[in-house]
Amino acid sequence: MAMQTEKFVSYEHMHGPTFGAVVGEGIVDLSDAGRSLRAVLETGPLDKLAAVIGKRKPSVKLKDVVFHQVVPDAARIICVGKNYSEHAKEMGGPAPADPNLFIRTTKSLVGHNQSIVIPSASSQYDYEGELAVIIGKGGRRIPAEKALSHVAGYTCFMDGSLRDYQKHSFTAGKNFDSSGACGPWLVPAAQVPDPQALRLVTRVNGEVRQNDSTANMIHSVAAIIEYISIFTHLEPGDVISTGTPAGVAAGRKPPPWLKAGDVVEVEIEGIGTLRNPVRFE
């Protein structure tokens, strides 16, 4: 089976969290290859699993599993703020000269089809659709021209933000439990020849709220990896979310904050659609 047909997913079905390869409408179990997708990335490129996948049949249907965020045990989730000029403008202030970084916790994220949660403490829950990068090969001080060779693959990201909390604590505003999402799967980098040529669309209840191209990022994926690796050694399984385009609720008048019963979808060309219903805490 050709590698380009495969996507990698972390999920749960009957016997606890595991991971596998999406083939058609099913999943080929790969739990014997390592304890998690991150553990497999630590041992080398995902394409080494192609021969294994080609000899197996799906053991479970996609519709029957609980999706986890793509790398449930990620050591770090590093996000970039104001990385599209029109979004920087709608939020106020100039576009950052260098990547504007913040950290999310693993507990702040859920997987595809899982509920994202409006906390009772906030009345300003906002959506932000983003392209996320999964690191495959670690490194420090990675030059931009070599950065994409360190990428295992790409996925969709919903950087849910509590805008009222952000005003006094940016960390809190970005890290309420189950306020964001990552998924549905990892698409290998070989299937995404140019991460700066992807259409990104965010919908709420089917209505398009964000529609832009990753070509319009202020800082490219390669530049972001170069910048982050100046101060820290990137590791396999690290997740980097690359910023959101214009069209967020906070930039609209009046702001259409997310409410219970809404459905948020982040669709990225060549990768897929991350879908999450919204519920109240």
Does the pLDDT at position 3 exceed 50?
Answer: no
> What count of other Cβ atoms lies within 10 Å of the Cβ of residue 25?
9
Boundary of a domain, candidates 11, 43, 67: 67
pLDDT digit string, tens, across residues 116-172: 999 999 999 999 999 999 999 999 999 999 999 999 999 999 999 999 999 999 999
Residue whose structure tokens are 């050709």: 2
- Are residues 60 and 145 located together in one domain of the fold? no
- Are residues 177 and 271 located together in one domain of the fold? yes
| 72 located within any domain | no
Cα–Cα dist 70/237, whole Å = 9
> What pLDDT score was predicted for residue 78?
98
| 259 located within any domain | yes
pTM of the model: 0.96
pLDDT digit string, tens, across residues 233-264: 999 999 999 999 999 999 999 999 999 999 99
Do the beta carbons of residue 244 and residue 210 sit within 8 Å?
A: yes
Does the pLDDT at position 105 exceed 70?
Answer: yes
- Are residues 86 and 41 located together in one domain of the fold? no
- Are residues 12 and 126 located together in one domain of the fold? no
Tell me how many domains the chain contains. Answer: 2
Boundary of a domain, candidates 49, 67, 85: 67
- Are residues 147 and 190 located together in one domain of the fold? yes
- Are residues 206 and 268 located together in one domain of the fold? yes
Cα–Cα dist 180/174, whole Å = 8
For residue 210, the enclosing domain spans 77-280
DSSP 218: S
| 269 located within any domain | yes
- Are residues 118 and 152 located together in one domain of the fold? yes
Q: How far is CA 115 from CA 25, 148, 233, 235, 261, in A?
A: 22, 32, 33, 29, 10
Residue 7's DSSP bridge partners are: 22
- Are residues 123 and 222 located together in one domain of the fold? yes
Of the candidates 203, 183, 191, 206, which has an alpha carbon nearest to the alpha carbon of residue 65?
183
- Are residues 46 and 113 located together in one domain of the fold? no
- Are residues 110 and 199 located together in one domain of the fold? yes
Q: Are strands 180-188 and 109-110 parallel, antiparallel or unpaired?
A: parallel
| 94 located within any domain | yes
Question: Residue 124 maps to which CATH number?
Answer: 3.90.850.10
Model confidence band, residue 178 (pLDDT cutoffs 50, 70, 90): very high
Residue whose structure tokens are 């879908």: 275
Boundary of a domain, candidates 30, 47, 67: 67
> What count of other Cβ atoms lies within 10 Å of the Cβ of residue 26?
18
Do the beta carbons of residue 161 and residue 176 sit within 8 Å?
A: no
pLDDT digit string, tens, across residues 50-72: 889 999 999 999 999 999 999 99
Of the candidates 214, 12, 221, which has an alpha carbon nearest to the alpha carbon of residue 114?
12
